[in-house]
Each structure stands twice: as C-alpha cells, then as structure tokens.
C-alpha cells in the first residue's frame, strides 16, 4: 500500500501564491529571469514573489537583493562550462537564513520550506546559507557539474 503523504509533519500551514509557480516555470523553460527571490507574507499566510532579476544581472546583484537581517527563499539559474567544454545551466534553490536574523523568522522559513520546495519541481541543487560566505560563487561552481 502506498502512502500518499510524506512523513514530515513540520509544515506551518503557509500557502503558496499562484504566481510563484508560474514565474519558476518561466525561469526554467523560457530562461527569461536570472533569479527570483521569494518572501513569506505573514498577513496573507503565503509565499509570494518579492523580486525578479533580469537575465543579464550578475551574481553580485543577486546577493545584494537578499536582506541582511531577514530570511528568504531564492532561485538562481547558474550558467557554467563543464570540463568537456559544454555549456550547462543548473537551477539552485537557496534557503537564505542569516544567523543575525530573528529566531521567529528562521523558524517560520524553516518550517515552510518543504511545502514550498515541493511546488518547485525541477530544481537541481539545494543550498542553505547562513551568511554570505556560505553562498559564495565558488560553492556553486563546486556543486554544479
């Protein structure tokens, strides 16, 4: 007998807004965006899109759009060249949870992450960063192959 629900009970009951899924699909299929930053809106009890980065923006622009003291979820489309000289592109999901942010924010984002992640189908790598040195471009390069 197959179990339909996963065993993780750690969900905080946050919904996911519709445009999150649409924008993710645009990034994945049409490659119109470089990155998307998602935020939890506590009043409406759902995850919403906070910022979309154009295809020409750099990794530094992406890091600048993440707040220093608050948590976020983010998707980044990483382009690189492999050892066999092929151009590849991988999608990274980054759970940005800086150690200087409030405990409440960290707990909220951690509990809602699984539910949100399930909506984004097609992410290649997942990363959790608690300070800027943990989401350095070098780390993305090492993970992607």
Partner 1 sequence: MAQLSETYACVPATERGRGILIAGDARSDSIAYCNGRSVIIRRLDAPLEATIYGEHAYQVTVARFSPNGEWVASADVSGTVRIWGRHGDRALKNEFRVLSGRVDDLQWSPDGLRIVACGDGKGKSFVRAFMWDSGTNVGEFDGHSRRVLSCAFKPTRPFRIVTCGEDFLVNFYEGPPFKFKLSQREHSNFVNCARFSPDGSKFITVSSDKKGILYDGKTGEKIGELSTQDGHKGSIYAVSWSPDSKQVLTVSADKTAKVWDIIEDGCGKLRRTLASPGSGGVDDMLVSCLWQNDHLVTVSLGGTMTIFSASDPNKSPVSFSGHMKSITSLVCLLQSGQNVILSSSYDGIITRWIQGIGYAGKLVRKDSTQIKCFAAAEEEIITSGFDNKVWRVPVNGDQCGDSQPVDVGSQPMGLTVAAQTPELAIVSTDSGVVLLQGPKVVSQIKLGYAVTTSAISPDGNEVIVGGQDGKLHIYSVNGDTLTEEAVLEKHRGTITAICYSPDASLFTSADANREAVVWDRISREVKLKNMLYHTARINCLAWSPDSHLIATGSLDTSVIVYEVDKPASSRITIKGAHLGGVYGLAFIDQNSLVSAGEDACVRVWKLLPQ
Task: For residue 69, report the phi and psi dihedrals to the nearest 5 degrees.
Answer: -110, 10
Does 103 participate in binding partner 1 (rule CB under 8 A)? no
Which position among 2, 9, 13, 60 is part of the footprint of partner 1 (CB under 8 A)? Answer: 60
Q: Please, where are the H alpha helices in the chain? A: 18-25, 59-64, 103-119, 137-143
Instruction: State the maximum Cα–Cα separation within the chain, in Å, rounded to a whole number.
Output: 49
Does 16 participate in binding partner 1 (rule CB under 8 A)? no
Does 136 participate in binding partner 1 (rule CB under 8 A)? yes
Which position among 18, 104, 132, 141 is part of the footprint of partner 1 (CB under 8 A)? Answer: 132
Does 123 participate in binding partner 1 (rule CB under 8 A)? no
Does 100 participate in binding partner 1 (rule CB under 8 A)? yes
CB of 56 to partner 1, least distance (A): 18
Reduce the DSSP state of residue 83 to 3 states and report it. coil
Listed as own residue / partner, the contacts of 51-54 with beta carbons closer than 8 Å and 24 or more positions apart are 52/23
Q: Which is nearer to partner 1, 120 or 129 (CB)?
A: 129
Size of the site for partner 1 (CB under 8 A): 9
Stretch that binds partner 1, among 3-11, 84-92, 106-114, 130-138 (CB under 8 A): 130-138
Phi-psi region of 81 (alpha: psi -120 to 50; beta: other; left: phi over 0): beta
């Amino acid at each position: 007998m197959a179990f339909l629900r996963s065993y993780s009970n750690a969900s905080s009951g946050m919904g996911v807004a519709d445009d999150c899924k649409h924008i993710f699909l645009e990034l994945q299929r049409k490659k119109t965006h470089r990155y998307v930053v998602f935020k939890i809106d506590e009043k409406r009890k759902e995850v919403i899109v906070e910022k979309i980065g154009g295809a020409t923006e750099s990794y530094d622009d992406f890091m600048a759009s993440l707040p220093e003291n608050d948590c976020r979820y983010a998707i980044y489309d990483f382009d690189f060249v492999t050892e066999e000289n092929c151009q590849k592109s991988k999608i990274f999901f980054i759970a940005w949870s800086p150690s200087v942010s409030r405990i409440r924010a960290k707990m909220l984002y951690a509990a809602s992450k699984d539910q949100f992640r399930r909506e984004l189908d097609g992410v290649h790598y997942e990363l959790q960063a608690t300070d800027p040195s943990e989401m350095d471009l070098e780390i993305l390069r090492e993970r992607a192959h």
